[in-house]
Amino acid sequence: MLRVGDVAPGFELVSHTGERINLEKLRGRYVVLFFYPKDGSPGCTRENCLLRDNFEKFEKLGAVTLGISRDSVESHKRFAEKHGFTHHLLSDPSGEVVKAYGAAGLFGITKRITYVIDPEGRVAKIIQSINPSTHVSEALKTLETISSSEASRTES
């Protein structure tokens, strides 16, 4: 299991848009990784809809938001189109990234875990909760706190 301060494991996965997303190429920005169990399930739909609804807030705070599950690119594409998602849904069918981030659960089901990764590629926050809303609100709160403390430092 990763801990706060650890270097986030690198990866390159395909998005529902067909784009290849490489974590290392996102250095210099905050990255919020939302691991979730299954496209279309009630909790996962709620979490991804909350991401969509708060997309501009994440962007304003300088964060890239990425959802990751073991579902196929095609499944992600249908899920994203149905709900109008603006964030990338990344497909990890082999489960290698899911395992690297400690999100592998029993029977191959992905656990709901969120990581906030800082611009240097280190884990800044880990959010584990059954409640999908907690993941979005805690990630935003973390980014807002970081943003406030960075603003305070530059004013001093």
Mean pLDDT of 87-106: 96
Mean pLDDT of 18-43: 97
Q: Could you tell me the residue ranges of all domains in the chain?
A: 12-155
pTM for the complete prediction? 0.93
pLDDT of 115-145, one tens digit each?
999 999 999 999 999 899 999 999 999 999 9
Q: Is the pLDDT of residue 48 over 80?
A: yes
| The one-letter amino acid at 16 | H
Q: What dotted CATH number matches 12-155?
A: 3.40.30.10
Catalytic residue among 8, 44, 123, 136: 44
- pLDDT band, residue 41 (cuts 50/70/90): very high
Active site residue 49: no
State the average pLDDT for the chain: 94
- pLDDT band, residue 148 (cuts 50/70/90): confident
Q: Is the pLDDT of residue 149 over 80?
A: no
Q: What is the pLDDT of residue 147?
A: 84
SS3 of 13-33: the string is EEECCCCEEEHHHHCCCEEEE
Q: Is the pLDDT of residue 156 over 60?
A: no
- Long-range (24+ apart) CB contacts under 8 A made by 41-44 are 43/112, 43/130, 43/132, 44/69, 44/132
- pLDDT band, residue 155 (cuts 50/70/90): low
